[in-house]
């Protein structure tokens, strides 16, 4: 129980009347990488966005069931969504740096938390960029606009920006889908290093990526969680026929 970070219980999500997630129940282990796979529209991204309550932004969405993060139901009325999002960071499919300098991008999160001290901020910027393995590339151009970076650099900058708020959990929504193979492998390497300290949940379209980066894999299909288990066993001996069909490329 101690190494379960997130416990999902009968979680369903509706867009208006349409049920998009159907009674999802799963345990997500701490300090591991959990991959969410499945064909387009299966609900894996929607599910990911439930974990930091990003779906709150869509007015027609309603959610039933429980999402317990370290035992606390994050959909409880007394829970402040802002604190949830500080604890659960998110990296998006399309890199989305602010149109500010590299430094200001990283400092954004600490600043909104009220950090003003310049040396403290400097320190956070450096550690975050180091953690995201991009410090050496960027240290001499911290005042340059983040928009001038390459796609891969931008995405690692966004990861660093997420780390700067020191979350426990990092959600990644197809973080490498728009990147070239070299940038992709850098991101995957990064994911591998980060799981020492963080619980990572990654949505991916790419089977090999799921197999390479994750410890556990959950297969979603049409709003249902079909199967979840150790990545090894999901990819070598899946229990469900649908899972096998999907990972062997028979559909999707």
Partner 1 sequence: MDKVLNESEGHFFSSRKSTSDIKGKIFVGLTQLAVILIISILFIILAVIVYQGRSKFSWEFISSFPTNGMTEGGIFPALIGTFILVIVMSIAAVPFGTITALYLTEYASENSKFAAAVRFSVRTLAVVPSIIFGLFGLGFFIQFLGAGADTAFNGGELRWGQPNILWASLTMALLTLPVIIVSVEEALKTIPRELREASLALGATKWQTIKKVVLPGSVSGIMTGTILAVSRGAGEVAPILFTGAAYYLATLPGSLSDQFMNLGYHVYIMSTQSSDVEKTMPIQFATTLVLLILTLSLNVVAVIIRSRIRRKAK
Q: Of the candidates 10, 41, 94, 248, which one interacts with partner 1 according to CB under 8 A?
A: 94
Phi, psi of 12, deg, nearest 5: -120, 145
Which residue shows structure tokens 């009325």?
77
> Closer CB to partner 1, residue 52 or residue 213?
52
29 token code pair: 């282990």
- Specify the stretch interacting with partner 1 by CB under 8 A; choose among 61-69, 109-117, 185-193, 227-235: 109-117
Stretch of residues binding partner 1 (CB under 8 A), selected from 69-77, 90-98, 190-198, 238-246 = 90-98
Q: Stretches 38-46, 92-100, 117-125, 200-208: which one binds partner 1 (CB under 8 A)?
A: 92-100
The residue count for binding partner 1 (CB under 8 A) is 24
Task: Note whether 216 binds partner 1 by CB under 8 A.
Answer: no
Cα dist. 164→42, 112, 168 in Å?
Answer: 31, 11, 11
Burial class (CB in 10 A: 0-12, 13-18, 19+), 93: middle
List beta partners, residue 66: 9
Residue 40 C-beta: closest distance to partner 1, Å = 19
Distances in Å between the Cα of 212 and the Cα atoms of 36, 170, 189, 208, 225 are: 13, 18, 10, 6, 21
What character string, x for contact with partner 1 (CB under 8 A) and - otherwise, covers 129-158? -----------------------------x
Site mask for partner 1 (CB under 8 A), range 42-81, x = bound: ----------x-x--x-x----------------------
Nearest distance, CB of residue 87 and partner 1, angstroms: 8
Binds partner 1 by CB under 8 A, chosen from 2, 71, 78, 99: 99
Query: In Å, how far from its chain's centre is CA 142?
Result: 25
| Contact call for residues 217 and 244 (beta carbons, < 8 A) | no
Contact by Cβ (8 Å): 5, 29 = yes
**Residue 108 and residue 139 in contact, taking contact as beta carbons nearer than 8 Å:** no
Binding site for partner 1 (CB under 8 A): 52, 54, 57, 59, 82-83, 85-86, 89-90, 92, 94, 96-99, 108-109, 112-113, 158, 161-162, 165
């Amino acid at each position: 129980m101690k190494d379960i970070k997130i416990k999902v219980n009968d979680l369903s999500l509706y867009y208006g009347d349409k049920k998009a997630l159907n009674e999802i129940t799963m345990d997500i282990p701490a300090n591991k990488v959990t991959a969410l796979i499945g064909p387009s529209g299966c609900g894996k991204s929607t599910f990911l966005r439930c974990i930091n309550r990003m779906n709150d932004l869509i007015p027609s969405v309603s959610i039933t069931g429980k999402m317990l993060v370290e035992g606390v139901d994050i959909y409880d009325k007394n829970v402040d969504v802002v604190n949830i999002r500080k604890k659960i960071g998110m990296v998006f499919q399309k890199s989305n740096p602010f149109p500010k300098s590299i430094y200001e991008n990283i400092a954004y999160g600490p600043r909104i938390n009220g950090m003003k001290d310049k040396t403290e901020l400097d320190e956070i910027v450096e550690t975050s960029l180091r953690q995201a393995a991009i410090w050496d590339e960027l240290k001499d151009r911290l005042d340059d606009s983040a928009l001038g970076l390459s796609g891969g650099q931008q995405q690692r900058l966004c990861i660093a920006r997420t780390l700067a708020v020191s979350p426990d959990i990092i959600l990644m929504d197809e973080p490498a889908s728009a990147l070239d193979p070299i940038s992709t492998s850098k991101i995957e390497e990064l994911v591998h290093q980060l799981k020492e300290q963080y619980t990572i949940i990654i949505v991916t379209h790419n089977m090999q990526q799921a197999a390479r980066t994750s410890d556990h894999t959950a297969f979603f299909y049409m709003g249902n969680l079909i199967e979840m288990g150790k990545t090894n066993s999901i990819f070598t001996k899946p229990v469900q026929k649908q899972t096998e069909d999907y990972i062997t490329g028979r559909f999707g």
